[in-house]
Structure 1
Amino acid sequence: MKIMSFNLRVNVESDGGNAWPNRIQEAAEAIKQANATVIGTQEGTYSMLQELHAQLPGYSWLGISRTGEQDGEYCAIFYRHDLVEPLESGHFGLSEKPEQLGYMSWNTACPRMCTWVKLRETSGQEWILYNTHLDHISSEARTNGIRLIVDRMKQSSAVGGSIPAVLTGDFNCEPDSDVIACLNDELGLINAYSTLTRVGRTFHDFKGGEAGEPIDYIWATPNVSFTAVHIDRNTYNGRYPSDHYPVAAELALK
Structure 2
Amino acid sequence: MHISLMTYNLRTYLAQDGDNAWEYRYEKVAAMIREHSPLLLGTQEGNTRMLEDLKLEEYHWIGEDRLGDRGDEHCAIFFKKDELDIVEHGTFWLSEQPEIPASISWDSSLPRICTWGHFRHKGTGTELLLFNTHLDHQGQQAREQGVRLIWERIKELRTAKDVPALLTGDFNSQPDNAVIRFMRGEPVWDDALVDMSDAYSVMVGPIGTSFHDNYSGRMEGEPIDYIFVTPDVQVSSIQIDRRMIDGRYPSDHYPVVAHLIAIEGE
TM-score by length of 1: 0.96
| 2:168 alignment partner AA | T
| 2:212 alignment partner AA | H
| 2:181 alignment partner AA | A
Q: Secondary structure at the match of 1:156?
A: helix
Q: Secondary structure at the match of 1:150?
A: helix
The CA deviation string for residues 110-146 of structure 1, in whole angstroms up to 9 with x for no partner, is 0001000001112100010000000000000000000
Q: Which runs of structure 2 are paired with 1:4-83 in the superposition (5 Å)?
A: 4-52=6-54, 54=55, 56-83=56-83
Query: Runs of 4 or more off by more than 2 Å in structure 1?
Result: 159-162
Q: Secondary structure at the match of 1:4?
A: strand
How many angstroms apart in 2 are the aligned matches of 1:34 and 1:223?
Answer: 24
Instruction: Give the unaligned 5+ runs of structure 1.
Output: none
How many angstroms apart in 2 are the aligned matches of 1:92 and 1:141?
Answer: 14
| 1:182 alignment partner AA | F
Q: 1:60–1:79: 8 Å Cα contact kept in structure 2?
A: yes
| 1:166 alignment partner AA | L
1:146 aligns with 147
Residues 51, 166 of structure 1: alpha-carbon distance in 2 compared, 3 angstrom cutoff: same
How many angstroms apart in 2 are the aligned matches of 1:182 and 1:227?
Answer: 23
Q: 1:162–1:223: 8 Å Cα contact kept in structure 2?
A: no
Q: 2:59–2:78: 8 Å Cα contact kept in structure 1?
A: yes
The CA deviation string for residues 194-234 of structure 1, in whole angstroms up to 9 with x for no partner, is 01122100000211121000000000001111101111101
Q: CA deviation at 1:253?
A: 2.2
Q: 1:226–1:252: 8 Å Cα contact kept in structure 2?
A: yes
How many angstroms apart in 1 are the aligned matches of 2:90 and 2:200?
Answer: 27
How many angstroms apart in 1 are the aligned matches of 2:149 and 2:194?
Answer: 12
How many angstroms apart in 2 are the aligned matches of 1:234 and 1:160?
Answer: 41
The answer to whether residue 200 in structure 2 is matched with residue 199 in structure 1 is no
Q: Which runs of structure 2 are paired with 1:65-104 in the superposition (5 Å)?
A: 65-104=65-104
How many angstroms apart in 2 are the aligned matches of 1:23 and 1:96?
Answer: 36
Instruction: Give the unaligned 5+ runs of structure 2.
Output: 186-192
Q: Secondary structure at the match of 1:144?
A: helix
Q: 1:202–1:244: 8 Å Cα contact kept in structure 2?
A: yes
2:189 aligns with none
1:184 aligns with 184
Q: 2:42–2:78: 8 Å Cα contact kept in structure 1?
A: yes
Q: Which runs of structure 2 are paired with 1:153-232 in the superposition (5 Å)?
A: 153-157=154-158, 162-185=162-185, 186-197=193-204, 198-205=206-213, 206-232=215-241
How many angstroms apart in 1 are the aligned matches of 2:254 and 2:160?
Answer: 32
| 1:207 alignment partner AA | S
Identity, % of aligned pairs? 44
How many angstroms apart in 2 are the aligned matches of 1:91 and 1:152?
Answer: 11
The answer to whether residue 111 in structure 2 is matched with residue 111 in structure 1 is yes
Residues 161, 182 of structure 1: alpha-carbon distance in 2 compared, 3 angstrom cutoff: farther
Root-mean-square deviation (CA, aligned residues, Å) is 1.2
The CA deviation string for residues 86-120 of structure 1, in whole angstroms up to 9 with x for no partner, is 11000100001000020110110000010000011
How many angstroms apart in 2 are the aligned matches of 1:241 and 1:127?
Answer: 29
How many angstroms apart in 2 are the aligned matches of 1:114 and 1:102?
Answer: 12
| 2:143 alignment partner AA | R
Q: Secondary structure at the match of 2:184?
A: helix
How many angstroms apart in 2 are the aligned matches of 1:70 and 1:222?
Answer: 35
Q: 2:39–2:79: 8 Å Cα contact kept in structure 1?
A: yes
Q: How many residues align?
A: 251
| 2:194 alignment partner AA | L
How many angstroms apart in 2 are the aligned matches of 1:202 and 1:94?
Answer: 23
How many angstroms apart in 1 are the aligned matches of 2:139 and 2:38?
Answer: 31
Q: 2:202–2:238: 8 Å Cα contact kept in structure 1?
A: yes
Q: 1:101–1:113: 8 Å Cα contact kept in structure 2?
A: no
Q: CA deviation at 1:4?
A: 0.4
How many angstroms apart in 2 are the aligned matches of 1:96 and 1:161?
Answer: 25
